[in-house]
Amino acid sequence: MDIEQLDTPVPVIDLDRLEANIAGLQDYMDQHGIANRPHIKTHKVPEIARLQVETGAVGICCQKVSEAEVMVEAGLDDIFIPYNVIGQAKLERLIALAERARISVVADSDYTVRGYAQAAQRAGLEFAVRVEFDTGMHRCGVGTPEQAATLARLIAGSPGLRFEGLMTFPQNAASDDFVRETRRLLQSEGIAIGCVSYGGTPGMWEAHLRSEVTEYRAGTYVYGDRSILASGAMTPDQIAFTVITTVVSRPTDDRGILDGGSKTFSSDMSGMTGHGLILEYPEARFYAMSEEHGNVDFSECSRKPEIGERVTVIPNHCCPVSNLFDRVVAVRDGAVEVTWPVAARGTVT
């Protein structure tokens, strides 16, 4: 099938670019001796995760237990979940995963560590646990090396748990200082920091500048989007994910309405102005959305689209967009090669 025959709105993956993005980051990480552990939250597609591992990734990263369940079912066998897994129901599922694959998790509190320890002992398993620390995002994560060391000691001393190292998102120069100080605090006790995992696509090409990193997690790099273009980490010819839409209305000379709104593009601004870049009309201003309509101002465009014309949009943030679709269409040279279920979406727990 030709790409022109796809009904809209439709998310399309350029396979040549996808493969080049996956190989490009792998090469860079290999060159610098950093383990590459891509985050699958961007695509949620087992076939892409397998491609990442076949290209050299040590394993994958999943943000949710439900994502890990889909990936283990698809044969992925080394998964890091950088999330405080809380509560009986999820811990039972974590045990079931750990019986089938190598699973590591994080903690930033005693509460989380105790839950892991109880679950591991109940199941007669060992969980690999990393400590999450915060060097600027102010989301999860302990705030000081002293807190990190205390938690590392608790993990190392808990039967059923193995202290695996440290993890943060995103990384910056302060991350290295944090790791060094935590190591210093633990050194005399023989508690080693085996793994230091940093992450984030915008900063991925600076990973080699961090002296402490041993593993890197990037997600968005497979597809790219408007905010990653703005960060400078990717170039327009690397964008592998677009949404094809149709102009369904031209109520005024300047205004055009696309058949994609917040249920297609999500409402994520990701620091951008407007809701996406229209490749055929780069001067157009995608200024508003409702759920199934996108409002575009074409006043700055020398040519303006007709009703029925198809236009290609680079979203602000690709991750929540792929999460809105049950399937993505992968194309090569303008022809559809395969349609992939976005298998790890919708099972939100």
CB of 278 to a second copy, least distance (A): 17
Contact pick of 187, 235, 267, 299 for a second copy (by CB under 8 A)? 267
Do residues 268 and 317 touch, judged by C-beta distance below 8 A?
A: yes
Site string for a second copy, 305-344 (x = CB under 8 A): -xxx----------xx--xxxx------------------
B/e letters for 111-138, b = 16+ CB within 10 Å, e = fewer, are ebbebbbebbeebeeebbbbbbbbbeee
CB of 270 to a second copy, least distance (A): 9
How many residues are there in the chain?
349
CB of 173 to a second copy, least distance (A): 21
Q: How many CB atoms lie within 10 A of CB 320?
A: 16
Contact between 136 and a second copy by CB under 8 A: the answer reads no
331 bridge partner residues: 14, 336
Q: Which is nearer to a second copy, 34 or 223 (CB)?
A: 223
By CB under 8 A, which span of 153-161, 176-184, 229-237, 252-260 interacts with a second copy?
Answer: 252-260
Contact pick of 16, 189, 291, 337 for a second copy (by CB under 8 A)? 291
Q: What is the largest CA-CA distance in the chain?
A: 73
Q: Which is nearer to a second copy, 165 or 200 (CB)?
A: 200
- DSSP for 280-317, written as a single string: T-TT-EEEEE-SS-EEEE-TT-SS-PPTT-EEEEEES-
Site for a second copy in 3-32 (CB under 8 A): 5, 7-10
Strand, coil or helix: what is 142?
A: strand
Quote the distance between the C-alpha of residue 349 and its chain's center.
17
Of residues 75, 71, 82, the one with CA closest to residue 164: 82
Q: Which is nearer to a second copy, 55 or 147 (CB)?
A: 147
By CB under 8 A, which span of 116-124, 149-157, 207-215, 265-273 interacts with a second copy?
Answer: 265-273
Of residues 43, 39, 83, 82, the one with CA closest to residue 57: 39
- Which secondary-structure segment (H or E) carries 20? helix 15-31
* Residues within the interface to a second copy (CB under 8 A): 5, 7-10, 41, 63-64, 83-84, 86-87, 89-90, 108-109, 111-112, 134, 138-143, 246, 248-252, 255, 257, 259, 262-264, 266-269, 288, 290-293, 295, 306-308, 319-320, 323-326, 346-349
